[in-house]
A = this chain, B = another copy of it.
Amino acid sequence: MSLLVVGSIALDTVETPFGRHADILGGSATFFSVSASLFTKPRLVGVVGSDFPPEHIKALRKRKIDTAGIEYADGQTFRWNGRYTGDMNSAETLSVHLNVFGNFDPKVPDKFRDSSLVFLANGSTSIQMKVLSQVPKAKFIMVDTMNLWIETEREKLIELIKKANGLILNNHEAAMLTGKHNLIAAAKEILAYGLDVLVIKKGEHGAMLFDRKGNFFAIPAFPLDNVKDPTGAGDSFAGGFMGYLDKAGNTDFNTMKKALVYGTMTASFAVEDFSLNRLLKATTVQLKTRAEKFKKMFTL
């Protein structure tokens, strides 16, 4: 199979109880592709400005990520400035400058058009929608989103969900999208839009997997007492999930269950340090070791 991700590449300024770091590498497609690179050779489509440090591109290439889909536009790279306090379960956005991402018109390179697995990482629904016609061979398209697009592009988002196979969102977004507080009821409603698969991420509380046949699987999070920066946890989760599916070569429910475990693993690496610092150092041996340890934590 072959895995394509389309999404943001950003320079973040992040403040947590563990420090403040300015202009560090971030972005939904970045976290996704580095996580997926532990399983496969992901293809990345995104846009950066003229200020984007070339060493970041090098770091991505070193992870066997195909960066042929990165467009270099005039202007500044997308910048996000956020702060986490307390339980660090949600970020307070201090500022957002879309910059070159604001005019992003995703162009899937010819050599990426045969991608069978496609991840539409967090970004405006309009941008996500533009990718659909450029991936004619896609067998499994998964969509991510966030509160902003649920609020501002709800109708378009539901239209996109209907065209996708899978949706991944967090528990707050599931409640917001459906108006239902009960997560199981919310999941049923979302699946009824016409999805094959739904993943609900719950941060420190783990993740749930639903399919349209009524299958259900849920696991806890990997226990960590050293969460330094939750930025990118969800994108990293998705990257591990889709990366594993690509490596496994199929998308049946049993494979998805294992993919949920690997998504949990890549997310757990992501939050152990700022930016992609920990993820970029993660090895497949570390991944397997942690996965074996993790599986025992919910095996009777």
A185 within 8 A of B: yes
Q: State the Cβ distance, A77 to closest chain B Cβ, in Å.
A: 32
Segment 178-220 of A: residues with Cβ below 8 Å from B: 181-185, 188, 202, 204-206, 208, 216-220
Q: State the Cβ distance, A300 to closest chain B Cβ, in Å.
A: 6
Binds B, one of A64-72, A91-99, A222-230: A222-230
Binds B, one of A54-62, A115-123, A291-299: A291-299
- Asked if B219 and A298 make an inter-chain contact with CB atoms under 8 angstroms apart, the answer reads yes
**CA gap between A253 and B181 in the complex, in Å:** 34
A43 within 8 A of B: no
- Asked if A218 and B298 make an inter-chain contact with CB atoms under 8 angstroms apart, the answer reads yes
**CA gap between A298 and B180 in the complex, in Å:** 24
In the assembled complex, 11 residue pairs joining A and B whose CB atoms fall closer than 8 Å, in A order, are: A86-B181, A87-B181, A182-B227, A184-B224, A188-B225, A205-B205, A208-B220, A218-B220, A218-B223, A219-B220, A298-B298
Copies of the chain in the assembly: 2
A258 within 8 A of B: yes
**CA gap between A4 and B297 in the complex, in Å:** 30
**CA gap between A207 and B300 in the complex, in Å:** 14
Q: Indicate whether A218 sits within 8 Å of B206 (C-beta atoms), given known contacts A225-B182, A300-B261.
A: yes
A248 within 8 A of B: no
**CA gap between A204 and B220 in the complex, in Å:** 12
A88 within 8 A of B: yes
